[in-house]
Structure 1
Amino acid sequence: MSNACLAADAGCRGPIPDDAPVRLCAAHLGAIAEWQADHDGTVDLLPVSCRVCGSRLGVRFPSGWMCAVCEWAVGDVADGELPPPRLDVVYYLRYADRVKIGTTANPRRRFAAIRHDELLAFERGDRLVEARRHAQFSELRHPRTEWFRYGDELRRHIDVLRVGVDDPWRLHHRWRSELLAAQAA
């Protein structure tokens, strides 16, 4: 195997680093890294928090920044003439040893009216999804309410909804930003 940079035909005589993944000198490896960063972006902290989801993690491109969580272009503004998109969610609120399964398009306002200890999860869906969950967990239901015993079957369902989700609110913000982005397109 030759010790010459693969760009030797172009006159390169630079030494190849011992740990180089391909036979290129440091200068040519650097040029490839810069090209890749321009093409695919560089993950970095955003200069300001994302206005849509609040994340600080971004991807820097030569053309600007994009939120790494919700993919909102930093600096873009939603069309103020368009009504905000409706995002219906099924929510799971815990209070003591019970869980309320309900639906809303405005969770912050709704939760302010419900005594609870913890938001366990969100699931995208409207009253049809909520009705399916009420039927699915009917054996755990407190009669004539939307409250359920926090039994194993319900706990497993909520655990599935929480996979990869550290904070249900961040997931809700991402869904909302996706709808805003689709609306603006």
Structure 2
Amino acid sequence: MECALPGCEVPAEAGSSLQLCTRHLFAAYDQVSGAVGVTDVLPQPCAACGSRVGVRYPSGWVCAICDWRVGEMPDDDPVPPRVDIVYYLRVGETIKIGTSGNPRGRFTQLWHDELLAFERGGRPVEQRRHKQFGEFRHARTEYFAPHPALDRHIAELREGVDDPWQQYSFWVSQAIALRG
């Protein structure tokens, strides 16, 4: 059997589901693969994490941040997953190290100047940080004096993170995805 393209008299590739010769099969593959797996702006924000960056596949778009299939709605789960974080806030000339499973709600209760960073983890991680930076701690509080060691730790947490809230949204979307 010959290649189905007009003017091509080369035999079609044996076993192919398309009646095309090897040269034309590769040409079709090159045409399709140029648009597959390409990172681009999503046609709509991701419903799971709000990202605008996605990867285009033949089966559709996938969010580049949380891997949610664009167009699918996240489950209407009445109880969002709990993602415990340790937060670092600048409050005047001090740094507060605390923990929360609901940072947006917690921050409405706390006066602060700037969110410095998030670290995934709950009370055990918070207690380790309080001990680690204990020599800079204001007695019996969660407030710490600025110090290069603490500044370095916060800088490490911020490395590659433009916005701690996006990082937190990613952790929440991961938790949703892990629920199945």
The TM tier, using the shorter chain, reads: 0.7 to 0.9
User: Which deviations, in whole Å up to 9, do the C-alpha atoms of 1:128-175 show, x marking residues without a partner?
Assistant: 000000000000101111000121010000011011001101100111
- 2:4 aligns with none
Gap runs ≥5 in structure 2: 1-9, 12-22
Greater relative contact order (Cα < 8 A, sep 6+): 1
| 56-65 or 79-88, larger mean C-alpha shift | 79-88
Query: 1: CA distance between counterparts of 2:48 and 2:161?
Result: 17
Runs ≥4 residues deviating over 6 A: none
Per-residue deviation at 1:115?
Answer: 0.9
**Aligned length in residues:** 162
TM-score w.r.t. the length of structure 2 is 0.81
Query: 1: CA distance between counterparts of 2:99 and 2:135?
Result: 20
- 1:34 aligns with 32
Identity across matched positions, percent: 52
Query: 1: CA distance between counterparts of 2:72 and 2:125?
Result: 33
Query: 2: CA distance between counterparts of 1:130 and 1:37?
Result: 45
User: Which deviations, in whole Å up to 9, do the C-alpha atoms of 1:70-120 show, x marking residues without a partner?
Assistant: 111112223325632110000000112211000001101101111111101
- Please say if 1:76 is aligned against 2:72: yes
Gap runs ≥5 in structure 1: 1-9, 12-24
- Please say if 1:164 is aligned against 2:173: no
SS of the aligned residue for 1:52 comes to coil
Pairwise CA RMSD of aligned residues?
Answer: 2.4
SS of the aligned residue for 2:160 comes to coil
SS of the aligned residue for 2:131 comes to helix
Query: Where do residues 95-134 of structure 1 align in structure 2 (5 Å cutoff)?
Result: 95-134=91-130
